[in-house]
Amino acid sequence: MAAEYFDTIHCWMPVLSRRRLYGLLLNPLSLQEPENALLLLSMTLITSIPDRPGNGSRLYHLTKEFYLAAQSTGCVTLQMVQAGILIALYELGHGIYPAAFLTIATSCRFGTMLGLDKLSAGDVTNTDREENIRVWWAVLIVDHALNLGTEGSHLCAPGPAPHDLLPMDDDDWDRSTTGSRELHRLSMPTELKAGRFARLVQATDLLGQGFRYLASLKTDTQPDFDGLGQLTRTIAALSNLAHAESLQRRIVFCCPIAWYPYDQYFTCRQLVVYESFH
């Protein structure tokens, strides 16, 4: 199960430490903890194919029951947040609403309780800290993806700050070489070397900017064309960079990098035209 997970889901949503997870599997006592068992069950769920159409499979309902039971015991750990992310991704992929919104909202609350939203603080040379950074970014990514149809009106957490840390290169992360990492922050130029997940983070930040622009159209009398132009140029630069990196480093990017910003960009343009004539 773990090998299948790391060969598939981990490639585009790398939020679990390979080293820590295999250490967990080698320790039978750790599996007695409900959050660890739930995490493994969630990994099994997201790599599974539903056994029936409709509102989820038997495994899905079992996982959700276990998830709610673990919450009722007062379990607030990193593994609970990770399990919630995987469950929400399953719900998003299979169109199980509004459960997906509620699951990621719970993960967001757990994350803030654990201090995961403090992306610019702490010892970033520590493997556990890098995992925390990735987990919180994953919460924001799924939250923004779910809000594509609502123009960001139901986001569970505020957008990232410019000084927030980006995830390290994915290859270094898998090799657990956090000690030699370069500190890249969200406000730094996009042309700096980064992995797939960091590019997805940058695309999600642009989506958040698109959400904020759409919100401003409802209150401002004059659209901010300069801001829209800057956002457009940044989107184009990230798209071109992602394409170049896919050729040079043979990095295959997940499709959200392509459709996150551009879907929101065209929506912005349509609304600007609409507001200009009404």
Check residue 49 and report its DSSP letter. Answer: -
Q: Contact at 8 Å (CB) between 203 and 186?
A: no
Question: Using CA atoms, how far apart are residues 243 and 105, in angstroms rounded to an integer?
Answer: 33
Residues 166, 194 contacting (CB under 8 angstroms):
yes
- The CA distances from residue 139 to 160, 270, 273, in Å, are 11, 29, 33
User: Residue 165's beta-bridge partner residues?
Assistant: 185
Structure tokens at 245: 């990196």
What is the token pair recorded at 165? Answer: 């840390």
Q: Which amino acid type is present at position 235? A: I
pLDDT score at 224: 80
Residue 229: predicted pLDDT:
84
Task: Output the pLDDT for position 193.
Answer: 66
What is the spatial distance between Cα 137 and Cα 118, in angstroms, rounded to a whole number? 11
Q: Which amino acid is at 24?
A: L
Cis-peptide into 98, omega within 30 deg: yes
Per-residue pLDDT at 274: 36
Q: How many CB atoms lie within 10 A of CB 272?
A: 17
Number of domains the chain is built from: 1
Helix, strand, coil fractions of the chain, as percent rounded to 5: 65, 0, 35
Compute the distance between CA of residue 230 and CA of residue 212 in angstroms, rounded to an integer. Answer: 14
Cβ-Cβ contacts under 8 Å for 256 (sequence gap 6 or more): 141, 145, 200, 203, 204
pLDDT of res. 158? 80
pLDDT of residue 44: 95
* pLDDT value, residue 64: 96
Which residues of the chain are modeled with pLDDT < 50?
254-278
What pLDDT is stored for residue 87 in this prediction? 97
pTM here is 0.83
Please give the residue range of the domain that contains residue 239.
1-275
